[in-house]
Amino acid sequence: MTTDAHATAPDLATTSPFLRACRGLEPSHTPVWFMRQAGRSLPEYLAIREGVPMLESCFRTDMVVEITMQPVRRHGVDAAIFFSDIVVPLKAIGVDLDIVPGTGPVVADPIRSEGQLASLRDLEPDDVTSITDAVRGLVQELGSTPLIGFAGAPFTLASYLVEGGPSRDHRRTKELMYGQPDLWHALLGRIAAIAGQFLRLQVEAGASAIQLFDSWAGALSPADYDTYVRPHSAAVLESVADLDVPRIHFGVGTGELLTRMGDVGADVVGVDWRVPLDDAIRRLGPDKAVQGNLDPTLLFAPTDLVHRRAAEVIEAGRAAKGHVFNLGHGVLPATDPDALTRLVEFIHTYERTA
Ligand code: 1CP
């Protein structure tokens, strides 16, 4: 067995249905993975996390490997997503934050002034050795299943840093954005450097694709996205362009931003369930692959309806350069894991009618 994480990469790129679809090559079947596939829908996840705080688990190599593997073993998905969180690189450089159960990321000292930018130093490889060790271990254990590395995009991370926690309207974030544009651009520039480095370290350790999550970008108008966010998201994706792995870019409620999210340098654009996939494909044009987009709450519907809707998504996806099946956002914690396994089986065995 080789210890060089990249030794198997060329092979994976040609054999993996997920990587083929990302690159617009015909896959042997429609590939599928689920955002938040590792997590609270799985009893084995709840068992291993018992008594271990979320952030601690993200820095424990053995737990990251085990939790990332759990949905791959159980559902037979076509890709693994690295178990971590978008705030992990910020924690790794010493930002005082926690992930509070039932709430999400909470930042002790929200960033609202220029003097506080100094706390956002560059991410160094030594800050995340337990994480890159986990990537290396996973690549060995996953074999023919590719690993997706990820990071939070500048706007979404800035929202947590400025608000101090989850926010419905992103009021303080936009207050800083509109009122102190120089500070805003300096802040997003710092975050872009950290996110880009986090992605780079994951790919160098063996991840075969990356996803940049701009979950809350849907809160922005297209004009504000262009002025305040686009250059920074583009900088993150550009900073990993030389690594030659597919770059997926996803946000929630981003129907009006889809073409822009493609234009910032994505190979694959994630689509939430509010936009019909055929519309999204028309908006994105022939050069982008798409990922999505079944409503996560459909997994609570009768199986025949789930399958009918999944078939519609697969059929609509055929018009794209490539299609990776996913939900339109993360798996809800109350989801029956067997419903996910059945959905994977359905997608893998769905008869091609085209
Ligand atoms: O104790 C727990 O189980 C805490 C729940 C949890 C989990 C399982 C959080 C807190 N984060 C995670 C893991 C996680 N987070 C993953 C890896 C697992 C997988 O996908 O299989 C990923 C990709 C994320 C990314 C993430 N964290 C995003 C972007 C994706 C998205 O869902 O939009 C965001 C916005 C976060 C912030 C976050 N972390 C946790 C929560 C509850 C939240 C959202 C809070 C809010 O609404 O603002």
* pLDDT tens figures, 253-267: 999 999 999 999 999
336 Cβ neighbours under 8 A, 6+ residues apart: 41, 299, 300
The domain of 105 spans 4-349
> How far out from the chain centre does Cα 351 lie?
29
For residues 139-158, average pLDDT? 98
Residue found under tokens 């805003």: 184
H-helix or E-strand containing 57?
helix 54-58
Q: How confident is residue 353, by pLDDT bands cut at 50, 70 and 90?
A: low
For a pocket test of ligand 1, which of 86, 168, 172 has the largest count of ligand atoms closer than 8 A to its C-beta?
Answer: 86
pTM reported for the whole predicted model: 0.95
Cα 284 from Cα 290, distance rounded (Å): 9
Q: Is the pLDDT of residue 2 over 80?
A: no
- Active-site residue, from 74, 127, 160, 228: 160
pLDDT at 99 over 70: yes
Distance, in Å, from the CA atom of 5 to the CA atom of 22, rounded to the nearest integer, reads 20
Is 173's C-beta closer than 6 angstroms to any atom of ligand 1? no
Which element (helix H / strand E) includes 21? Answer: helix 17-22
Domains in the chain, number: 1
Q: Which one is catalytic: 60, 85, 133, 172? A: 85
Residue 354, in any domain of the structure: no
Which DSSP symbol is given to 301? S
As a whole number, the mean pLDDT across the chain is 96
Query: In sequence order, which residues have a C-beta less than 8 Å from that of residue 166 and are 6 or more positions away?
Result: 103, 104, 105, 160
**pLDDT tens for residues 25-58?**
999 999 999 999 999 999 999 999 999 999 999 9
187 lines ligand 1 (CB under 6 A): no
* Cβ of residue 36 lying under 6 Å from some atom of ligand 1: yes
* Percent of all residues in the chain with a pLDDT value above 90, rounded to a whole number: 96
Measured in angstroms, how far is the CA atom of residue 227 from the centroid of ligand 1?
27
Residue 38 to residue 71: CA distance in whole angstroms: 6
Give the pLDDT score at 1: 42
CATH number, domain of 61, equals: 3.20.20.210
pLDDT for position 119: 93
Any catalytic annotation for residue 160?
yes
The CA distance from 217 to 194, in Å, is: 18
Contacts of 108 (CB under 8 A, 6+ apart): 96, 97, 98, 164
Is residue 292 within 8 Å of residue 271, measured between CB atoms?
yes
Tokens representing 285 are 């044009």
User: What pLDDT does 351 receive?
Assistant: 76
Average pLDDT, stretch 294-311? 98
Testing ligand 1's pocket by substitution, the residue of 32, 36, 56, 199 carrying the most ligand atoms inside 8 A of its CB is 36
Please check whether residue 64 lies inside any domain of the structure.
yes
State the number of CA atoms in the 13 A half-sphere of 151 facing the CB.
30
57-96 tens-digit pLDDT: 999 999 999 999 999 999 999 999 999 999 999 999 999 9
Q: Is 49 part of the annotated catalytic residue set? A: yes
Of 4-13, 193-202, 221-230, which gets the smallest average pLDDT?
A: 4-13
